[in-house]
Structure 1
Amino acid sequence: MGRFLVVSRRQTDDQAAALSRALDEDARSLGFSVVELNAHAWLAVRGPGVPRRIDVGGWTLIGDVFNRRSPVLPSPRLDDPWDYERKLMARCWGRYVGVRFGAGDQLAAVLRDPSGALECVTWRQDGLAVVCGAAEDFVLRRLRPAWQLNVRRIAEALRDPVPATGALLLDGPIALEPGSVLDLSSDRPPDALWTPADFARRSLGRAPDLHDAADQLRSAVDEATAGLAGVSSPLAAEVSGGLDSSIVAASLVTGAPNGVAMWLNAFGAAPEADERTYVEALANTLGIAPHCVPHAAEPLAQVWLEALSPGFRPGLTALDRPHDLDWARRLEGAGIVGLMTGAGGDSVLFQRATMDVFVDRWRARPWRDLFAPDVVELAASNEISVWTMIADARRRRRAPHPAPRRDHPMLPALSGAGPRHPWLEGWDEFGPAKAMHLAGVVDNVARHGPSELTARIDVRHPLCAQPVIEACLALPTVLLTAGGRERGLARRAFRDRLPAQIIDRRSKGDMTRIYGRMILDGLDVLRPWLIEGRLAALQVIDPEAADRALTREALVWGGRYSTIMVAAAFESWVRRWEARLKPPS
């Protein structure tokens, strides 16, 4: 989605007024549209997908806001200062950030929508209050904030597989979690008004029957898809050949049959990365004409690495730069303004049909329905016996869940455990499968991160939207894996819209070999980038261990390609921010 900037200045402060005017002029010169919010504050926006403005109950909401079809409002609490805001987040969904002004037109509060589709960072400086979603270089050059890199937090985040939200790796600005609100009149941290655990707790109660659960899921996907598809057009839609993008495509055809101008598929050179057989089956069922193009591949270059992390967080969505640039060029050439994807389905619709699902079931109803068809199918798909699952469930029935961690020889040991992500606090009250479901929702926030593609096309992810997240979190993993299958409920919910070849598919497209080849062929660039880089200088990675790990022999035998590219993105982020925060010469 596009970018936004809110600047509010203190009254009767000449320096703040001068800085506000200068930033206003800078924004206009860079193509932002600027409007006054009041006598002392203004809003600047630009595309792709220019954020809209809507005033609701004293709040100015910036972005896309949709009314829920069937909202479930929280119970009112007389002592809750944020009662209205909780109801707002239940009545509406979308991709938005909110600001509210108080006495003297001063910025009083900021909120962020539960999906996290827009980043929300705020700080006060020199009589100004600033709220933005992107790290705007013109703002940083003009204000020169006295921020610092937090090296300990960088090291912890590099080991955390779900670092998409949580505290920034900078000391200074405040980043709001999705679903939170910040009162700027106090020194209190932001208040969490919406968390995934709130909805996951509903899964611990009486579950709906399978038919009703399928209806709920299908309705939520249709609501999210229709809302995002209606933002602006012409639209393109990704059709990878997998289940998730096929579900979104089917929802688009059902709700907006003439709304998509281009159906786009990228096929890889490796057999497991070429899903055109499934795309053809989807096309025949939906009556669409996909445009299939080779997945763009180019030799790894330092210019890629330097461009990976332009935002407030390391650029984990920008790692496939050739593909992003190729699709951006194709879509712009066709006049496309928005791209619909199936991203996030693995996590939200629940890909993990493992023994953990049986442990969840055992915690809820031990010794009940032990040989139900779903249990037998789950055991068979994991190539174990039901008795083995029972023994594992009894052993792990109340064991705490270990924090997810990324491990690699080049990451030196850290003293003490890092803080758990705020959305994962209290996850021990759930079974292990539901706990991983929560972690997947946290990780999905990263899908909205900036990349070369999002800088030019408004990329929209219906399966990462609030209606779908809430619907899936409220269901037990036993239902989400109906039939003992990964995404089993989703398969049942969309069986009448999709070809059996996709619904019954047990394989999954895999780009691992292609990305592995890119890293192997790019070692002459990656080695100095990491071994002689800033992470090594800050002792976040061990350069000697990196030297041993970044060889063809070590990678062929040991793999771990993803951690290497994540480290490359973190290195890019550190270099970018050290340059931004360096005093002017």
Structure 2
Amino acid sequence: MGDYLIVSRGTASAASARADTLRSQAAAAGMTVSDLGDRAWLAVEGPSPPATLLVGAWRLIGQVFHREHRIVRPDTDQEPWSYERKLLARFWGRFVGVRLSSEGEVAEILRDPCGGLDCIAWEDDGLTLVVSAVPAWLPVPRSWSIAFDRVAQALHDPLLVWEDLLLDGPVAILPGTVQPAPLKTPPTALWTPAAIVRRGATQPVSDAEAAAALTLALDDAVRALALDAGPLAAEVSGGLDSSLVAASLIRARKDVAPWINLYGAEAQSDERPYATALGAVLGIDIVSVPHASGPLNEADFESISHGVRPGLAGIDMHHDRDWAGRLQTAGAMAIMTGRGGDSILLQGATADVFTDLWRARGWRALTSPALPGLARLNDRSIWSLIAGARRPTEARPARRNEMIAPIGLPTIPHWLGDCADLGPAKILQVAGLIDGIGRQSPSLQTRVVNVLTPLLSQPVVETCLALPATQLVLGQRDRGLARSAFRDRLPPIITERRTKGEMSAIYGRMVADNLDFLRPWLLEGQLAEAGLINRAAAETMLSRGNLIWRGTYGEIMTAAAVEGWVRTWSQRLRPRARSARPRGSPPASEASDHRHRGYWPD
């Protein structure tokens, strides 16, 4: 999806003049500009530039769909923000909302629950700016600086990249949140995953009803996205998630092209036999292309680092560039994918699933028909599962990136901070949802086409959050409910498949083949200069021996992408003062914000 820029001004003549100057600059940059009110205007740009829909006093900006089947409503009209809660139950998509004051200024900002469109705001000399991205032509306040304490936290736990910004100055509006003006006013969360989980626990349904609800939610989401997409392509990996999406998509549109499959050189990353079987059942022609690779360089990382967040969603740069070119050549304006299914459909049928059941039902969990299957699947005795579930809940160790200097007490992502009463399987599902939201962030591919992710849409997300973990796996299979619900639409080779495609060898080779670049990039970069890199540990991790025996590709590429972002934004913010911490000093052990503290579960 394209980007938006909202500028709201106060009454001062200087603010009016600055707003007019920015309006002229936005138009000169190719953005389409329109008035929102007497003191606010909107600029948008493509691909698929955000549209505007008026709903009551709210102007919704982005891609907005009417909810055909709602499951979440406020309990009463007397709830705070009851109208906005109803709005989020009635509409879904990728959007932000603004409500104007009687004077025509931005009074409140709203972001949709699934966060497919970013929302960043700041105030500067009588102006309020709300953006999805900060283009290079847009001046930023001199007070902005890189928040190295939050950079350190995010290097250990990359989920934090998708929440609060790694910049001091602007404010990130979180998904499902309303932010009043002025921005120093505390925000209000209108929607959280944990609230959906709790609501679902009070409204149990049968397995058949759950399967029907999942099918309906996915069909609704796919149809809405597909009919709004223009020329549309689809990714078909050969795995379950993209197959589910394809089975729904073929019912919504017959003109999808190309259906494209990615394969790697290793057997575990080559799923062409499964994609071929799917194509035969659905009656579609699938084009298989090899994973594109090549040497990494500074320009590659710079190309994904202009966003207000590090470009973790765009790390596979050669692949993104290759697919962007192929889709452009095919004339596609959008591509539909199965991203997010592993988490929201519950890929792991682990012992944690029984722990969730135990926490919900106590000793009555022993009567669950799921218990024997979970024991067999995890190669555990039933008594071992029970013993594990009965252990007192303890904070799990925080995620640690060994090449990064130690930090103080870790920060918990906001949504996980609201999950203390949930079981570990549901906590993992929520963590996966946070990661999925981040994976919708800009990349070299999204600059060219609109990337659609129906499994991360609000109808599907709410349906799956509301179902207990045992029902999502049907007691014995990863994504068991989804397999059962779509059994009649997919070939048995996919619904009964026990293995999963694995791309780790591809990314391992990417790191190994580029160690000569990655070593100086990290050991002599700005993260090292700021004291965030543990040089001895990094030297060990950036070796072929470590890659063979321990992997750690993700930690290395995360650090490399964050390094690129820090370099890019340090250059953009010069000669502004950087974060006030002397060279080589450790990051602050306590961040100066309002976030929850504790440990993030593995």
TM-score, length-normalised on structure 1? 0.95
- Paired residue for 2:39? 40
Correspondence 1:256-271 to 2 at 5 A: 256-271=252-267
1:218 and 2:215 correspond: yes
CA distance in 2, matches of 1:165, 1:423: 11
SS at match of 1:212: helix
Contact 1:110 1:181 in 2 (8 A): yes
Residue pair 1:300, 1:519 contacting (<8 A) in 2 also = no
> Are 1:27 and 2:26 matched, yes or no?
yes
Shift of 1:372: 5.3
3-state SS of paired residue (1:514): helix
Letter paired with 1:237: A
Query: 1:496 deviation in Å?
Result: 0.9
How do 1:496-511 residues align onto structure 2 when only pairs under 5 Å count?
496-511=488-503
1:458 and 2:450 matched: yes
CA deviations on 1:396-421 (whole Å, 9 max, x unpaired) are: 4xx14426x33232122212x12321
Structure 1 counterpart of 2:306: 310
Partner of 1:411: 404
**CA distance in 2: counterparts of 1:258 and 1:553, whole angstroms:** 49
The answer as to 2:429 corresponding to 1:429 is no
- Indicate if the aligned counterparts of 1:65 and 1:95 stay in contact, CA closer than 8 A: yes
Other-structure match for 2:520: 528
Secondary structure in 2 matching 1:7: strand
What secondary structure does 1:8 align onto? strand
Structure 1 residues 161 and 581, CA gap change in structure 2 (3 angstroms): closer
Q: Does the 8 Å contact 2:133/2:308 carry over to 1?
A: yes
Query: What TM-score do you get using the length of structure 2 for normalisation?
Result: 0.93
Q: Is the 8 A contact 2:240 2:494 kept in 1?
A: yes
In the alignment, residue 537 of structure 2 is paired with which amino acid? A
Shift of 1:356: 0.4
Matches of 1:372 and 1:175, distance apart in 2: 43
351, 366, 372: which is aligned to 1:376?
Answer: 372
1:100 aligns to what SS in structure 2? strand
Q: CA deviation at 1:108?
A: 0.7
Aligned to 1:4: 4
> Residue type matched to 2:73 in 1?
L
Q: Which moved more, 1:151-160 or 1:272-281?
A: 151-160
- State how far apart, in whole Å, the 2-side matches of 1:112 and 1:277 are: 41
**Within 2, Cα distance between the matches of 1:401 and 1:57?**
44
* Matching residue's letter, 2:207: L
Partner of 2:128: 129
Please give the alpha-carbon distance, in whole angstroms, between the structure 2 residues aligned to 1:468 and 1:451.
Answer: 24
C-alpha separation between the residues in 2 aligned to 1:164 and 1:148? 16
How far is 1:371 from its partner?
A: 7.0
Corresponding residue to 1:194 among 185, 191, 194: 191
1:102-135 CA distance string (max 9 Å, x none):
0321111111000100000111102211000012
Structure 2 runs not aligned, ≥5 long: 578-602
In 1, the alpha carbon distance for the partners of 2:310 and 2:137 equals 20
Deviation at 1:584, TM superposition (A): 8.0
- Contact 1:164/1:442 (CA < 8 Å) preserved in 2? no
Q: Secondary structure at the match of 1:260?
A: coil
Q: What is the Cα-based RMSD across aligned positions, in Å?
A: 1.7
Q: In structure 1, the residue corresponding to 2:420 is in which secondary structure? A: helix
Read off the aligned partner of 1:69 and give its amino acid letter: E
Residue number in structure 1 paired with 2:588: none
1:344 is displaced (CA, Å) by 0.3
Distance 2:325 2:49 in 1: 19
Q: Deviations over 1:424-476 (max 9, x none)?
A: 12312111111111211122111211100001111010001111110000000
Q: SS in structure 1 opposite 2:185?
A: coil
SS at match of 2:165: coil
> Which 10-residue stretch deviates more, 329-338 or 292-301?
292-301
Does 1:251 find its partner at 2:248? yes
Question: More deviation in 114-123 or 20-29?
Answer: 20-29
Closer/same/farther in 2, CA of residues 22 and 450 from structure 1, 3 Å limit = same
Does the alignment pair 1:344 with 2:336?
Answer: no
Quick one: percent identity of the two aligned structures? 47
Partners of 2:255 and 2:306 in 1: CA distance? 32
Partner SS, residue 294 of structure 2:
coil
Matches of 2:200 and 2:480, distance apart in 1: 16
Q: Structure 1: give runs of 5+ residues left out of the alignment.
A: none
Point out the more displaced range, 361-370 or 332-341.
361-370
Q: Which residue of 2 aligns with 1:283?
A: 279
- Quickly say closer, same or farther: Cα 1:15–1:508, change in 2 above 3 A: same
- 5 Å-filtered alignment, 1:156-167, equals 156-167=153-164
Pair 1:69 & 2:98 matched: no
Q: CA deviation at 1:373?
A: 4.9
C-alpha contact 2:95 2:116 (8 A) present in aligned 1? yes
- Contact 1:125 / 1:145 at 8 angstroms: preserved in 2? no
Which residue of structure 1 lines up, in the alignment, with residue 439 of structure 2? 447
1:168 aligns with 2:165: yes
The equivalent position to 1:321 in structure 2, one of 275, 293, 317, is 317
How far the C-alpha of 1:387 sits from its partner, in A, is 1.9
Query: What's the secondary structure of 2:19's corresponding residue?
Result: helix
CA contact (8 A) 2:144 2:576 kept: no
Q: Are the equivalent residues in 2 in contact too, given 1:401–1:428 (CA < 8 A)? A: no
**Which deviates more from structure 2 when the two are superposed, residues 34-43 or residues 570-579?**
34-43
- The one-letter code of the counterpart of 2:196 is F
CA–CA separation in structure 2 for the residues paired with 1:577 and 1:489: 45
Gap change, CA 1:440 and 1:128, over 3 Å in 2: same
Aligned length: 576
